[in-house]
Amino acid sequence: KNEVEQSPQNLTAQEGEFITINCSYSVGISALHWLQQHPGGGIVSLFMLSSGKKKHGRLIATINIQEKHSSLHITASHPRDSAVYICAVRGNYQLIWGAGTKLIIKP
Amino acid sequence: NAGVTQTPKFQVLKTGQSMTLQCAQDMNHNSMYWYRQDPGMGLRLIYYSASEGTTDKGEVPNGYNVSRLNKREFSLRLESAAPSQTSVYFCASSDGRVDIQYFGAGTRLSVL
């Protein structure tokens, strides 16, 4: 079993829909990262959080340390949100990466 | 503001050839990282450098060597390329080991 599991692996939705991507982990962590990988391959950090909730524009990230679970939400989704969203957790020394969720938003 | 710059963007090698992937950052970050990304798998850490003058093995270091040339530059060398090293390679940097990492655009490497 992978230490970081993301679900779903693939998600296709219509423009305007509310999107939720989940990340569960099995190790103790000091922080959790959400990143976005564009279709061209570039990777951008979205959030780093260790508790509670963070919001940036239409993106919201939450984490529940007790349940070892985080969610990334996108409100009013748009085709430009189409990308792979990656969850990574920081254990003792290094980041442990999820395999990513491929999101496609159709106009 | 360039951020993290990787060269080359694409490379095709024959089995047994050697090459060096270059990475430079202009954010005065202490830590730098090399990852590989394969289809269906998460990013896997090859080597990292917590600070200038230090390097450490990551999850998949075999077949690679690194050099932290100075604070700005961290290179990855394949001495004798193998088809299993066909992958997309990303360099990243961060101000500290617990901070957000900033990524380069990636190098797509094919080993025939």
B48/A44 Cβ within 8 A: no
B90/A94 Cβ within 8 A: no
Query: Within an 8 Å CB–CB cutoff, is residue A100 touching chain B?
Result: yes
Q: How confident is the model at residue A93 (pLDDT cuts 50, 70, 90)?
A: low
> Do you know the residue count of chain B?
112
Q: How confident is the model at residue B95 (pLDDT cuts 50, 70, 90)?
A: confident
Query: Within an 8 Å CB–CB cutoff, is residue A30 touching chain B?
Result: yes
Whether A61 and A40 have beta carbons less than 8 Å apart is answered as no
Say if residue B78's pLDDT is above 70: yes
Mean residue pLDDT across chain A: 92
**Distance from the A100 Cα atom to the nearest Cα atom in chain B, whole angstroms:** 7
Report the pLDDT averaged over residues A85-95: 83
The residue among B58, B56, B53, B57 whose CA lies nearest residue B69 is B53
Query: Within an 8 Å CB–CB cutoff, is residue A90 touching chain B?
Result: yes
Q: For B38-106, where are the E strands, in sequence order?
A: 44-49, 56-57, 65-68, 74-78, 87-94, 102-103
Name the residue type at position A9: Q
The size of the A-B interface in CB pairs under 8 A is: 46
Query: Within an 8 Å CB–CB cutoff, is residue A45 touching chain B?
Result: yes
Q: In this predicted structure, what is the pLDDT of residue A90?
A: 83
B88/A41 Cβ within 8 A: yes
First vs last Cα of chain A: how many Å apart? 36
Whether A87 and A103 have beta carbons less than 8 Å apart is answered as no
B43 vs A contacts (CB less than 8 Å): 86, 88, 95, 97
Which tokens hold the place of A7? Answer: 């679900």
Name the residue type at position B58: G
Q: How confident is the model at residue B98 (pLDDT cuts 50, 70, 90)?
A: low
Q: How confident is the model at residue A1 (pLDDT cuts 50, 70, 90)?
A: low
Residue A102 CB partners (closer than 8 Å, separation 6+): A9, A10, A11, A84
Q: How confident is the model at residue A11 (pLDDT cuts 50, 70, 90)?
A: very high
Q: How confident is the model at residue B109 (pLDDT cuts 50, 70, 90)?
A: very high
Say if residue B97's pLDDT is above 70: no
B102/A4 Cβ within 8 A: no
Query: Within an 8 Å CB–CB cutoff, is residue A41 touching chain B?
Result: yes
Which pLDDT tens digit goes with each residue over B47-71? 999 889 899 998 899 999 999 989 9
Query: Within an 8 Å CB–CB cutoff, is residue A95 touching chain B?
Result: yes
B41/A41 Cβ within 8 A: no
A86/B106 Cβ within 8 A: no
